[in-house]
């Protein structure tokens, strides 16, 4: 079997096992509540106006249909089956099915997360390599100072500082997702949603002004969300670069007269990217799970709305559980993609050497 195919099978199998373990733990926690409470996870639209007798009969029917009084393995199997069929429950706060809301709101979150990844991963790799190649010199000192500041300031504080400077005082980069006029046009039938990313769909609808407006609104949240991850990735890359440049093959290349930029960017970079991409996978997971704070501050109506509804005064257990499962799925998918990229870059990983 080719090493890459074996690597893919092992990673996919590990992701599936992880998903089953986490969902089993989640459902085990849910089983601590009475069956009548768990039955509310399966409620659907249109049940709000039932009488007490009709509501009690409906709850009992749900308990019997989903085997909520059966042993754990049977209940878990039926619950997983309902998730696969798309029945993630109904949110009384959002007044919609949980899965439909998650899919619809995730487009905003995905756009913010993807652009944050595209911003901090290349910047972290390049700045870390430059700092590592100029250890204890001016560029290295400036990088370490900037990285220290970025990791010391909490993202929500940074967001407020950026808003006060670039939105309130300078009016360069506004908050929310679009200006009022463009937002009304995007919500109209004249605008066709294709990718879910307004920065791309604007061009596809022959409205580049909408794409530019959306990009302008994304500047501050992208910087806020990615700055701390840039600092962490840059530090890991810097340390890996310093270690790599001390290895024998680099010394041999210098003895043969190879230029320093070739040794740095051609020969050592592939080895440096292995630990850097591993860090990027963890950062990508942290990005998605921590994005809701940034969405709330910048008034971006993404996944944060589902989280806020789940912790609001009204009981909304379906939203909380749905978000937990959705987060696990997204994080596992992102980490699988970055593992594959890492294996493509470093053949030692796909061959199981490291």
* Interval 237-283: pLDDT, tens: 998 888 888 888 888 887 887 787 777 787 777 778 777 777 777 77
Distance spanning both ends of the chain, measured CA to CA = 19
Q: Where are the alpha helices (DSSP H) in the chain?
A: 3-30, 35-39, 52-65, 72-84, 98-133, 138-152, 155-162, 180-186, 198-204, 208-244, 248-255, 260-262, 269-297, 304-310, 317-345, 347-350
Does residue 93 or residue 199 have the better pLDDT?
Answer: 199
Q: Are 158 and 294 in contact (CB under 8 A)?
A: no
Q: What is the CATH number of domain 104-303?
A: 1.10.3720
Global pTM? 0.80
Q: Rounding to the nearest 10 degrees, give the CA dihedral for residues 276, 278, 283, 285.
A: 160
* Cα angle for residues 229, 307, 16 (degrees, 5° grid): 70
Looking at the DSSP bridge assignments, the partners of residue 96 are 91
CA dist 240 to 210, 265, 313, Å? 41, 13, 48
State the Cα–Cα distance between residues 236 and 132, nearest whole angstrom: 10
Residues 130-151 have a mean pLDDT of 90
Three-state secondary structure readout of 115-152? HHHHHHHHHHHHHHHHHHHCCCCHHHHHHHHHHHHHHH
Confidence of residue 290 (pLDDT cuts 50, 70, 90): confident
Kindly tell me if the per-residue pLDDT of 316 is higher than 90. Answer: no
Kindly tell me if the per-residue pLDDT of 176 is higher than 80. Answer: yes
281-313: string of b/e by CB count within 10 Å (b at 16+)? bebbbebbeebbbbbbbbebebbbbbbbbbeee
State the Cα–Cα distance between residues 3 and 23, nearest whole angstrom: 30
User: Percent of the chain scored above 90 by pLDDT?
Assistant: 13
Kindly tell me if the per-residue pLDDT of 136 is higher than 60. Answer: yes
Residues 63-75 have a mean pLDDT of 83
Q: How many CB atoms lie within 10 A of CB 89?
A: 22
Domain boundaries, given as residue ranges, for the chain? 104-303
Closest CA to 304 of 321, 282, 289, 325: 289
Kindly tell me if the per-residue pLDDT of 331 is higher than 90. Answer: no
Looking at the DSSP bridge assignments, the partners of residue 91 are 96
Winning range, highest mean pLDDT, from 22-36, 58-72, 185-199? 185-199
**3-class SS of residue 67:** coil
Residues 56-84 have a mean pLDDT of 83
Residue 96 has φ and ψ, to the nearest 5°, of -160, 165
What radius of gyration do the chain's Cα atoms show? 24
Whose structure tokens read 């294996």? 343
Confidence of residue 330 (pLDDT cuts 50, 70, 90): confident
Q: Are 76 and 20 in contact (CB under 8 A)?
A: no
Q: Which long-range contacts (CB under 8 A, 24 or more apart) does 12-21 make?
A: 12/336, 15/332, 15/333, 15/335, 15/336, 18/332, 19/328, 19/329, 19/332
Q: For position 146, what pLDDT does the model report?
A: 92
CA dist 181 to 108, 187, 211, 268, Å? 18, 10, 13, 50
State the Cα–Cα distance between residues 204 and 265, nearest whole angstrom: 36
């Amino acid at each position: 079997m080719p090493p890459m195919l074996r690597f893919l099978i092992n990673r996919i199998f590990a992701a599936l096992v992880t998903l089953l373990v986490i969902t089993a733990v989640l459902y085990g926690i849910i089983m601590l509540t009475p069956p009548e409470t768990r039955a509310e996870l399966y409620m659907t639209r249109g049940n709000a106006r039932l009488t007490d007798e009709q509501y009690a009969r409906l709850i009992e029917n749900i308990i019997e249909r989903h085997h909520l009084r059966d042993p754990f393995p049977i209940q878990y199997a039926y619950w997983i089956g309902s998730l696969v069929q798309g029945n993630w429950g109904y949110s009384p706060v959002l007044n919609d099915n949980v899965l439909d809301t998650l899919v619809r709101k995730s487009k905003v979150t995905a756009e913010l997360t993807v652009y944050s990844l595209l911003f901090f991963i290349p910047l972290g790799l390049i700045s870390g390599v430059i700092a590592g190649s100029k250890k204890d010199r001016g560029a290295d000192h400036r990088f370490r100072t900037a990285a220290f500041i970025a990791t010391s300031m909490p993202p929500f504080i940074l967001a407020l500082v950026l808003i006060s400077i670039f939105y309130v005082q300078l009016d360069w980069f506004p908050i929310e997702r679009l200006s009022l006029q463009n937002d009304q046009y995007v919500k109209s039938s004249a605008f066709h949603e294709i990718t879910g990313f307004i920065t791309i769909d604007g061009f596809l609808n022959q409205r580049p002004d909408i794409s530019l407006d959306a990009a302008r609104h994304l500047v501050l949240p992208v910087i806020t969300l990615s700055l701390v991850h840039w600092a962490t990735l840059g530090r890991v890359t810097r340390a890996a670069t310093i270690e790599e440049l001390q290895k024998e093959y680099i010394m041999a290349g210098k003895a043969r007269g190879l230029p320093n930029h070739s040794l740095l960017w051609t020969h050592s970079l592939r080895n440096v990217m292995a630990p850097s991409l591993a860090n990027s996978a963890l950062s990508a997971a942290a990005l998605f799970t921590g994005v809701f704070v940034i969405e709330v501050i910048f008034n971006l109506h993404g996944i944060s709305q589902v989280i806020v509804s789940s912790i609001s005064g009204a009981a909304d257990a379906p939203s909380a559980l749905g978000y937990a499962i959705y987060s696990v799925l997204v994080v596992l998918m992102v980490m699988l993609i970055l593992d594959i990229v890492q294996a493509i870059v470093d053949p030692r990983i796909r061959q199981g050497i490291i």
